[in-house]
Amino acid sequence: MPPHQYPGSGNGSGENPLELAIGIQVRACRTRLGMTAADLARASRISVGMMSKIENGVISASLATLQALSRALDVPLTTFLRGREYEGNAIFVPAGAETAFEMGEARAAQRYKLLGYFGTHASSPTVETYLFTLDKETDAFPPLEHFGMEFLYLLEGEMTYRIGSMRYLMGPGDSLSFAGHTPHGPEQLIRLPVRFLSTISYL
């Protein structure tokens, strides 16, 4: 298959494009870790034959099976779906080309960048993803509120994050999912710089 051509798209087969896409992602993750199909099958507690069919898009693996694979590969379940959606309507943001925002005088040093969005109009996206970089202790900001749901993933640093009356001590790799209408925000920046991804869904 030529580079940049998505598996299952335009290959003439027209069969199980989503299953093929998932299979390609599973295989890519597996080979990246230097595992054989048998290794991954063993780790996921499925048969080697099943592994073969999943990787070749022959079957639609159940969610339980995909979850087992994601755990064995130590990747989020959504990794297997990456790149399949919105093939003809993708938004590519090269490194350094993000849209930077300043959040007002009181938060002058605290910056966040819009990495991408999806929706029928840029003015009313259904999903937005931001990269926050907080490099001063004073960058912690008052709680925010908004519609929809938010997912937060801490990349670097350490902080306490407040959601309503709850406080969460977060380190790299920790994540939070919560309703946007609950007042939330970084409360104390413990180890700088703090960098985290924030995805907001307005659905």
Partner DNA sequence: AATCTTCATCCATCCAGTCC
Partner DNA sequence: GGACTGGATGGATGAAGATT
In the complex, the residues that contact DNA under the rule CB under 7 A are 36-38, 45-53, 55-56, 58-62, 64-65
Least CB distance from residue 20 to DNA, whole Å?
11
H or E element at residue 169? strand 166-170
For DNA, the closer of residues 54 and 159 by Cβ is: 54
- CB–CB of 9/15 below 8 Å? no
For DNA, the closer of residues 71 and 167 by Cβ is: 71
For DNA, the closer of residues 52 and 182 by Cβ is: 52
Least CB distance from residue 129 to DNA, whole Å?
30
Least CB distance from residue 47 to DNA, whole Å?
4
Least CB distance from residue 177 to DNA, whole Å?
25
DSSP structure class, residue 144: B
